[in-house]
């Protein structure tokens, strides 16, 4: 299963049907398409209603943190109540790009964390070079009974363990197939399979042998194969356990 993609961004959503057909034919059982602002959150819910194998998450990405108001929080709460919404996100902190001041990102993140917690939804966390800040905020505002996932993980094994100890899962993108991703390779070896998820972050971060091209959910296979290689287990073991993890975290039956 692809636990994190942006169907609305793949050719502006025009080819979502074909993308899903290819994914299902390749054995990908379901995908979660992710909201990053109000427009994409609405689209995510619409996609989930139009495709039986698509589920949605809604939220305001740190790049759009300045757009979070009481009105948008109220609409997010309404959207999150939809039966096809299985998570809140993606939300978090990004210290690489300065689309929103850090203080504004912190405020938007914590406000959405509290909303997700009140709604009993798992959170999908965007963490770009903000490991310590996000860990401290999750620790301060937790616990999170519905748990969550650190999306597109880019840290080391010790960092992963800290998040796992808070009850979170670690999601591995196609970057793990890159030869120069040694820290991520070591992290995957150290993370228990029972705490791993697989994602594409499509249309971004396509795995080898499609690096540099448009990513899509069917390419989760290549990430799963690399995880199996790194952990010295079979592809079926990776598929089975990560599917079980999805079912436990998001309540999706696949």
The residues spanned by each domain of the chain are 2-250
pLDDT of amino acid 163:
98
Question: What is the block-wise mean pLDDT of the chain (254 residues), using blocks of 10 residues?
Answer: 96 89 95 98 96 97 97 97 97 94 97 98 96 97 97 97 98 98 98 98 97 96 98 97 97 88
87 bridge partner residues: 57
pLDDT at residue 254, as a whole number: 77
What confidence tens digit (pLDDT) does each residue in 160-196 have? 999 999 999 999 999 999 999 999 999 999 999 999 9
pLDDT at 168: 98
Cis peptide, bond prior to residue 35, ω within 30 of zero: no
Report in angstroms the alpha-carbon separations of 183 from 133, 156, 191, 229. 20, 6, 12, 15
Specify whether the CB–CB gap between 213 and 47 falls below 8 A: no
Q: Residue 239: CB partners within 8 Å, gap ≥ 6?
A: 224
Look at residue 243 in the predicted model and tell me its pLDDT: 96
CATH entry 3.20.20.140 includes domain 2-250 = yes
- pTM, full prediction: 0.96
Q: What is the pLDDT of residue 98?
A: 80
What is the predicted pLDDT for the residue at 103?
A: 96
What tokens does 226 get?
């690399």
3-state secondary structure of 78: helix
CB-CB contact of 93 with 106 (8 Å): yes
């Amino acid at each position: 299963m692809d636990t994190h993609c942006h169907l609305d961004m793949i050719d502006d959503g025009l080819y979502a049907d074909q993308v899903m057909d290819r994914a299902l034919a390749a054995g990908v059982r379901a995908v979660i398409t992710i909201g990053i602002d109000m427009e994409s959150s609405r689209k995510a819910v619409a996609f989930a209603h139009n495709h039986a194998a698509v589920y949605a998450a809604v939220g305001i990405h740190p790049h759009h943190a300045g757009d979070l108001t009481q009105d948008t929080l109220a609409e997010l709460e309404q959207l999150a109540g939809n039966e096809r919404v299985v998570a809140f996100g993606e939300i978090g902190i990004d210290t690489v790009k300065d689309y929103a001041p850090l203080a504004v990102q912190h405020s938007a993140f914590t406000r959405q964390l509290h909303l997700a917690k009140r709604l009993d939804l798992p959170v999908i966390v965007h963490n770009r070079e903000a490991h310590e800040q996000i860990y401290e905020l999750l620790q301060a505002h937790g616990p999170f009974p519905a748990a969550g996932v650190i999306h597109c993980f880019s840290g080391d094994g010790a960092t992963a363990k800290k998040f796992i100890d808070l009850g979170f899962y670690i999601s591995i993108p196609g970057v793990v197939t890159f030869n120069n991703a040694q820290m991520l390779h070591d992290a995957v070896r150290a993370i228990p399979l029972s705490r791993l998820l697989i994602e594409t972050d499509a249309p971004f971060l396509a795995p080898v042998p499609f690096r540099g091209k448009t990513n899509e959910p069917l390419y989760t296979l290549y990430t799963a194969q690399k995880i199996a290689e790194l952990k010295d287990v079979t592809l079926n073991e990776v598929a089975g356990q990560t599917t079980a993890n999805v079912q436990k975290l998001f309540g999706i039956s696949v």
